């Protein structure tokens, strides 16, 4: 091992797919979806045909769980460090999960809007946009476009929908409402929400294209407008200590551009991992964090176990390329932000453990155990770069040799 006063790794690469839960957390009894487990059920559905050679070598099946992953063998010898983590916060979606990973645990849940926005807020939006707000209630984006897309296209309205998370989505046909106008509308909603102290996590612009419900499809150009993190994060400490932070995917959106030196916004998972490989060739020092988006949906529709597994296999192939790019002074951390069961009819995130894998070419491998907060990741990153931590969380750096 290196001395405690030296940087253990020059570069830390994080890869975070969404909705890869690995079993109910110990306090899952608080959650009505406590029995959900997307990873295990995905393996069951594929009946041994889910081929993940890279994740197998990395020890995904070596992570402690109630039942083995069907068709996946344990790695022998184990050359990476594996464990599982559950969120410390009572509620966890993508936004609060990423914040907790970077040391900022939110104990008071962000606001949700199960019945839509208040009439006063809707009137403000309609006055600003000179367009009618339709739906204004809970729905999936796929259902919203299918049910209201024709009306929006014909009448020039804007579709506003909420979910079980602290998310407000604004959608319109890009042939009727340009992307720039849709972004302007979302920025206005963000401004009004913040001005009125609404703890609304994200406002998401979701343009779609097509002429009729039969060919409506989500278009590129999604943009997230997140509330500013209510405190410093690990990213702020890193950039304040001249440790570069590069965000790929929606990382910049999640942290509202705080603590990010360079942002690469890409919608497609394949593009994000391809760009990660390019960035690794260019950036030899610092933190590179790559968000892979949620695995439970594509084009607004739930993938189901089949689509979920196929997406995992594509990511696994690209992870193999990333492993080949690792240098002895690199640390790769793979984890997830939350669970979401593809075999359930519910769209609500499930309270689960998520996998934790830490790999480096010179690592011997071992167990990291069960971690009680995502903040352990941030604590590990700070210790690695010699930055004192002001956050909760226990570093596992000294367990990696």
Range of the domain at 204: 119-226
Whether 136 and 234 map to the same domain: the answer is: no
Burial (0-12, 13-18, 19+ Cβ within 10 Å), 117: buried
In a domain, 335, yes or no: yes
In a domain, 6, yes or no: no
Q: What is the DSSP annotation of 224-243? A: EEEPPPSS--HHHHHHHTT-
**Which tokens in the block code for residue 60?**
């995904």
In a domain, 266, yes or no: yes
Per-residue pLDDT of the chain (401 residues; tens, 9 = 90+): 444 445 589 999 999 987 777 765 555 555 444 455 656 666 666 656 778 999 999 999 999 877 777 778 899 999 999 999 998 887 778 899 999 999 998 888 899 999 999 999 999 999 999 999 999 999 999 999 999 999 999 999 999 999 988 999 999 999 999 999 999 999 999 999 999 999 999 999 999 999 999 999 999 888 999 999 999 999 999 999 999 999 999 999 999 999 999 999 876 777 899 999 999 999 999 999 999 876 655 444 445 667 777 888 899 999 999 999 999 999 999 999 876 655 555 555 667 889 999 999 988 899 999 999 999 999 999 999 999 999 999 999 999 96
Question: In Å, how far are 17, 59, 80, 291, 336 from 309, measured between CA atoms?
Answer: 13, 18, 23, 18, 15
Supply the pLDDT for residue 300.
Answer: 44
What's the total number of domains in the chain? 2
pLDDT digits (tens, 9 = 90+) for 221-275: 889 999 999 999 999 999 999 999 999 999 999 999 999 999 998 767 778 999 9
Strands (E), 101-242: 133-138, 158-162, 167-173, 202-209, 217-218, 223-226
User: What is d(CA 212, CA 321) in angstroms, rounded to the nearest whole number?
Assistant: 41
Instruction: From 182, 210, 226, give the residue that closes a domain.
Output: 226
DSSP strand pairing (202-209 vs 158-162): unpaired
Instruction: From 226, 244, 271, give the residue that closes a domain.
Output: 226
Supply the pLDDT for residue 348.
Answer: 56
In a domain, 114, yes or no: no
Whether 220 and 257 map to the same domain: the answer is: no
User: What is d(CA 85, CA 196) in angstroms, rounded to the nearest whole number?
Assistant: 35
Whether 130 and 151 map to the same domain: the answer is: yes
Supply the pLDDT for residue 41.
Answer: 63
Q: What is the CATH number of the domain that holds 95?
A: 3.40.720.10
Look at residue 207 and give its three-state secondary structure.
strand
């Amino acid at each position: 091992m290196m001395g405690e006063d030296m940087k253990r790794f020059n570069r830390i690469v994080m890869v975070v797919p969404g909705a890869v839960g690995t079993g109910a957390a110990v306090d899952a009894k608080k959650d009505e979806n406590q029995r959900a487990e997307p990873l295990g059920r995905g393996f069951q559905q594929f009946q041994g045909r889910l081929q993940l050679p890279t994740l197998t070598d990395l020890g995904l099946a070596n992570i402690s769980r109630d039942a083995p992953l069907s068709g996946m063998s344990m790695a022998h010898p184990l050359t990476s460090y594996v464990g599982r983590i559950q969120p410390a916060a009572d509620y966890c979606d993508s936004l609060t999960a990423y914040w907790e990973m970077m040391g900022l645990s939110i104990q008071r849940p962000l606001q949700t809007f199960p019945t839509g926005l208040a009439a006063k807020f809707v009137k403000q939006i309609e006055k600003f946009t000179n367009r009618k707000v339709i739906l204004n209630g809970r729905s999936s984006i796929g259902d919203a476009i299918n049910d209201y897309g024709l009306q929006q296209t014909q009448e020039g309205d804007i579709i506003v929908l909420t979910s079980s998370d602290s998310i407000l989505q604004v959608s319109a046909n890009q042939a009727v409402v340009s992307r720039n106008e849709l972004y302007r509308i979302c920025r206005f909603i963000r401004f009004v929400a913040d001005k009125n102290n609404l703890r609304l996590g994200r406002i998401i612009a979701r343009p779609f294209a097509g002429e009729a419900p039969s060919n409506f499809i989500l278009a590129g150009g999604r943009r997230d407008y997140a509330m500013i993190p209510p405190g410093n994060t690990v990213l702020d400490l890193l950039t304040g200590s001249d440790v570069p932070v590069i965000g790929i995917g929606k990382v910049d959106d999640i942290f509202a551009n705080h603590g990010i030196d360079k942002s690469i916004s890409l919608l497609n998972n394949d593009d994000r991992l391809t760009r990660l490989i390019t960035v690794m060739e260019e950036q030899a020092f610092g933190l590179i964090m790559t968000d892979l988006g949620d695995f439970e949906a594509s084009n607004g529709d739930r993938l189901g176990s089949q689509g979920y597994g196929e997406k995992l296999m594509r990511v696994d192939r690209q992870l193999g390329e990333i492993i080949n790019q690792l240098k002895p002074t690199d640390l790769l951390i793979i984890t997830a932000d939350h669970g979401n069961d593809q075999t359930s009819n519910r769209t609500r995130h499930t309270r689960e453990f998520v996998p934790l894998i830490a790999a480096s070419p010179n690592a011997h491998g071992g167990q990291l155990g069960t971690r009680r907060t995502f903040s352990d990741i941030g604590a590990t990153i700070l210790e690695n770069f010699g930055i004192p931590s002001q956050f909760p969380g226990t570093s596992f750096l000294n367990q990696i040799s």
